[in-house]
Amino acid sequence: MNRYIYILTIFIFTTYCNIYAQDLHFSQYFNAPLLVNPANTGFMPDHDYRLGINYRDQWANIGNAYKTMSAWGDVQLFNSRFENGWVGLGGTLLKDDAGGGTLTATRLFVSTAYHQVINDNGLLSVGVGIGGVNKRVDPSKLTFDNQWNGKFFDITVPNNEPFNYTSVYYLDLQLGVNYAAFLTDNLYVNAGASIQHLNQPSESFFASNAITSGRLAPRYTFFVNAHIKYGNLAIVNPNVYYSKMGTVTETVLGANVNYNLSGEGGANQLILGLYYRAGDAIIPMIGYQVNDLKITFNYDATTSALGVYNGTQGAYEVSVMKNGIFGADKSIKCPKMVRF
């Protein structure tokens, strides 16, 4: 193992074990709505259901460091029981591999939200989520400072690290709220906030008492986005995202544009976008939408000091999302989303 891969592996390991470490994330956070905020569950006024998958490969050229994937879906319920509202129910399965399988995390979440129409052009949503998490570490794939013999890391030497566990399980709770304003047929604005790790679950491979040690700090997430339609030509979607967990913060801002390629109805759309993660990466994005099926791809070009080691090749990410309705038509209780 060369020195840079060793440094990176230890960095990954200690980052995940530190209670102030930032959670997994996708650059296309807007295409992973249930991961961002449980209040997004069922938030699709024009549709009955959504299905999505996300895949992210990060720092592959310096040790195959992170591979993150998710599959999720949500659906509207009880539309006929509430005059001006509905319930959303959804689920998310996530898996994260670090260091070629040295550290893995599997998460299964179920979320629900209630959406209430306010004054005909507003929509208030409140959601909760509950999930089970398993994290596993394989110490045999790691090397430590006391295994360095002056020339190389000798894996036959005991690492003498105080591992009490190689697998931990815990329950994770989430709470979120968002508000959408359908201001005109050409302008829609949405803002939301959420708290993850509300119960501050314990996550430690070393603690002698995993119930009281190694607790995760709550993660606070805020976002604002808008859809602005310019005739029948384009819809501009500016976004701002901010997340804080312990002392670690993440800020992403930018915009994507959907260009109409097929006249009335916008059955075919080209998607172009550009985002910036503060202090970390510039993120160009491209995609294509056919009716209610959307595929998008982004590439994270590293702008931080890590670029010296990874040649600015930070990550690539793919997202696929499908919206749909049950039957031939749908009754919409609030103004439609901005669409072609």
pLDDT, residue 307, reads: 58
Give the confidence band of 62 by pLDDT, cuts at 50, 70, 90. low
Question: Residue 122's pLDDT band (boundaries 50, 70, 90)?
Answer: very high
Tell me: the pLDDT tens digits for 195-207? Answer: 999 999 988 777 6
Per-residue pLDDT averaged across 47-74, rounded? 87
DSSP class of 35? H
> pLDDT digits over 15-47, tens only?
433 333 446 779 999 999 999 999 999 999 889
For 257-304, the pLDDT digits (tens) are 999 999 888 899 999 999 999 998 999 999 999 999 999 999 999 887
Q: Rounded CA gap, 28 and 239, in Å? A: 11
Q: Which residues contact 338 (CB under 8 A, 6 or more apart)?
A: 185, 186, 187, 188, 227, 228, 229, 235
What global pTM score does this model have? Answer: 0.86
What pLDDT, on a 0 to 100 scale, did the predictor assign at position 5? 43
Tens-digit pLDDT profile for residues 217-259: 999 999 999 999 999 999 999 999 999 999 999 999 999 999 9
**Residue with more model confidence, 265 or 108:** 108
Split at pLDDT 50, 70, 90, the class of 176 is very high
Q: Which CATH architecture has domain 3-324?
A: Beta Barrel (2.40)
DSSP state of 153: B
Mean pLDDT of 304-332: 79
pLDDT band at 10 (very low <50, low <70, confident <90, very high): very low
Is the predicted pLDDT of residue 149 greater than 50, yes or no?
A: yes
Q: What is the pLDDT of residue 142?
A: 72
Provide the mean pLDDT of the chain.
85
pLDDT at 133 over 90: yes
Across the chain, the runs of DSSP E, i.e. the strands, are 49-58, 66-77, 85-98, 103-118, 122-137, 167-184, 187-196, 219-230, 234-245, 248-260, 268-277, 281-290, 293-302, 313-324
Asked if the model's pLDDT at residue 52 lies above 70, the reply is yes
Could you tell me the residue ranges of all domains in the chain?
Answer: 3-324
Q: Report the candidate in 14, 46, 66, 45 with the shortest Cα–Cα distance to residue 204.
A: 14
